[in-house]
A and B are shown apart, each in its own frame.
Chain A
Amino acid sequence: MSAEGAIVAGSLNIVLGLAVLMAAAALLTWIERRLLGVWQDRPGPNRAGPFGVLQVVADGIKLLFKQDWIPPFADPVVFVLAPAIAMVTVMLAVAVVPATPAIGIIADLNIGLLFFLAMSGLGVYSVVLAGWASNNKFSLLGGMRAAAQMVSYEVFMGLSVVGVVMLAGSFNLLEIVRGQQHMWYVVPQFLGFVVFFIGGIAETHRLPFDLPEGENELGAGFHTEYSGMKFGMFFLGEYIGIIVVSAMTTVLFLGGWYGPVLPPVLWFGIKTGFLVAFFILLRAALPRPRYDQFMSFGWKLMLPLTLLNILATGAVMLAATSI
């Protein structure tokens, strides 16, 4: 293939990937509301189109046509920058996720896992800067909560995957999936799986860990002042974040595309979809913890657990090699 051909193919791959992702994220807003409805014994949005699917279109049109307002007391540049960071970081994180060996944008990156962690780390800025730039007490409180919460849970998230990296011997996500051909890492790394998923919920600041938003105590927190498509970008960023965290959990712990009978991409989709549904179930079932409970849960329970997990994994691997 010529150089131009490679560039065109690469661009097409990226555009297609982003299109699928955006469509999935938009659809997820509807899926979430329907599922929440099911778990709360009510139908959910069912009017627009078949099963209410066109609700997504209606919401999109509404967001697009709303007044795009920047408050006069806000810091205008940072105010506009924040939602852009929210979208860009999660979309970059998607780039390294391998759906199958063939489907993925830059899946074969030798530091794929670290790239994902780096992007989720940079995602903090969107919330923090949004809270600061809004120049509003509640937003600032939300931004500060977000900073402390996401930096803390990033620590556990990073440490929880160390066990997987030790077992696979690589940061390359393709290699990590290939290492699970015979046994998914969720079995030997169950603690890591649990901590990673909880960390993922905190990173995407989804319920029950939506303390930066906390609509009943902070009045939507960091995006109180946002309206129109800027709010829409936070919104979409959050849903893409759910998909990314679910996909990463699938890749790291649930054996990626491996599975009997069905084609690989379908297996990947099924596993990711299952985790996304679990995200929504968590939202339906659990109340939001108090902030101090949340932080002490992280530092006093999750951190020791992950360290223990690393210690045990290392000890078992050492014992296995020495025998």
Chain B
Amino acid sequence: MNLTFDLSAIIAVVATVMMLTRASAVHALLYLTVSLLAVSLVFFVLGAPFAAALEVIIYAGAIMVLFVFVIMMLNIGEAAAAQERIWLQPSTWIGPSTLALLLAIELGAVAVNGGIARPAGVVVSARQVGLGLVGPYMLAVEIASFLLLAGLVASFHLGRSIMRAE
């Protein structure tokens, strides 16, 4: 399983880098989707199949589709891609990537020194996830549901006001 893990982890990192450096928004989103799928495979290998499936269904299958939908609707042309290329000058990305590199070195050092305990391959079943959600993490779930309800009400309100204006 180690090989699968390493391979999908590398794919995730590479896809994320590619996502950051694409000029076309849709291409960037596709790389982000690949990255999410790779992360889902990492979850699966680490023994969390339920989280892996949800990652694909919700992130890759729904949220990223909505992103693609919005970008398609905006119909961003060549001008936006040119603007994107200007932003990708070294002066723009050198600062953040230096910081990210420092973080990566720290992470590598910790990993080499054996600071990370590899999960023991325990499979987290859907039942355990469900019990966790209504048990110890009840408050987080409730707060998230409040947030979602607020979003729902807001979008309903926005839709209604547009209809009245017509």
> Does A touch B (CB under 8 Å) in the complex?
yes
Known contacts A78-B26, A121-B62, A154-B62; A114 and B57 CB within 8 A of each other: yes
The CA-CA distance from A121 to B125 in the complex, in Å, is 22
Complex interface bits, B96-119 against A, C-beta within 8 A gives 1, otherwise 0: 000000000000000000000000
Residues of B within 8 A of A (CB): 24, 26-27, 30, 33, 49-50, 52-54, 56-57, 60-62, 65-66, 68-69, 72-73, 75, 123, 125-126
Selected from A117, A129, A147, the residue in CB contact (under 8 A) with B57 is A117
Instruction: Point out the residues of chain A lying under 8 angstroms from B50, CB to CB.
Output: 111, 114, 171
Interface size on A, residues (CB 8 A): 27
A131 at the interface (CB under 8 A from B): yes
Partner of A151, one of B27, B52, B66, B123: B66
A178 and B68 alpha carbons, distance in the complex (Å): 40
C-alpha spacing A120/B65, complex, angstroms: 12
Question: In the complex the two chains form, is B30's CB within 8 Å of A78's CB?
Answer: yes
Determine chain A's interface SS by DSSP, over half rule: helix
Q: How long is the Cα–Cα vector from A121 to B123 in the complex, in angstroms? A: 24
A317 at the interface (CB under 8 A from B): no
A-B pairs with CB below 8 Å: how many?
77
Q: Is the CB of A121 within 8 A of B69?
A: no
Asked if B53 contacts A114 (CB within 8 A), the reply is: yes
B68–chain A nearest beta-carbon distance, Å: 6
Contact B61 A154 (CB under 8 A): yes
- How far does the alpha carbon of A122 sit from the alpha carbon of B73 in the complex, in Å? 20
**In the complex, what residues of B have CB within 8 A of residue A144's CB?**
69, 72-73
Which residue of chain A is the closest to B125 with respect to CB atoms? A110
Complexed CA–CA distance, A143 and B27 (Å): 16
> Is A208 part of the binding interface, using a Cβ–Cβ cutoff of 8 Å?
no
| A115 close to B53 (CB less than 8 A) | yes
- Chain B CB count within 10 A is highest, among A75, A78, A147, for A147
Q: Which residue of A lies closest to B72 (CB)?
A: A132
Chain B nearest CB, measured from A225 CB (Å): 15
Are A158 and B126 in contact, CB atoms less than 8 angstroms apart? no
Q: How far is the CB of A145 from chain B (nearest CB, A)?
A: 10
Contact A121 B126 (CB under 8 A): no
- Within the complex, the shortest CB–CB distance from A86 to chain B, in Å, comes to 14
Q: Is the CB of A118 within 8 A of B57?
A: yes
Looking at the assembled complex, report how far the CB atom of A120 sits from the nearest CB atom of chain B, in whole angstroms: 8
Query: When A110-B125, A121-B60, A144-B72 are in contact, do A128 and B53 touch as well, CB less than 8 Å?
Result: no
State the Cβ distance, B37 to closest chain A Cβ, in Å.
Answer: 8
Contact of A148 with B by CB under 8 A: yes
The reply to whether A125 and B65 contact each other, CB–CB distance below 8 Å, is: yes
Q: A124-B65, A171-B126 are in contact. List 20 more A-B contacts (CB 8 A).
A: A78-B27, A78-B30, A110-B125, A111-B49, A111-B126, A114-B54, A115-B53, A120-B61, A121-B60, A124-B61, A125-B65, A128-B68, A128-B69, A129-B26, A132-B26, A132-B68, A140-B75, A147-B66, A154-B57, A154-B62
Residues on A with beta carbons closer than 8 Å to the beta carbon of B66: 147, 151
Which residues of the partner chain A approach B123 to less than 8 Å between Cβ atoms? 110
Say how far A222's CB is from chain B's closest CB, in angstroms.
11
- Find chain B residues with CB under 8 A from A147 CB: 65-66, 68-69, 72
A128 to B68, CA, bound (A): 8
Contact A118 B53 (CB under 8 A): yes
Distance of A1 from chain B, by nearest CB (Å): 20
Q: Identify which of residues 83-134 in chain A touch chain B, using a CB-to-CB cut-off of 8 Å.
A: 110-111, 114-115, 117-118, 120-122, 124-125, 128-129, 131-132
Contacts of A122 in B (CB 8 A): 56, 60-61
By beta carbon, the residue of chain B nearest A135 is B75
Closest residue of chain B to A121 (Cβ to Cβ) is: B61
Chain A residues whose CB sits within 8 angstroms of the CB of B72 once the complex forms: 128, 131-132, 140, 143-144, 147
Please judge, given known A-B contacts A117-B57, A118-B56, whether A151 and B65 are in contact too, CB under 8 Å: yes
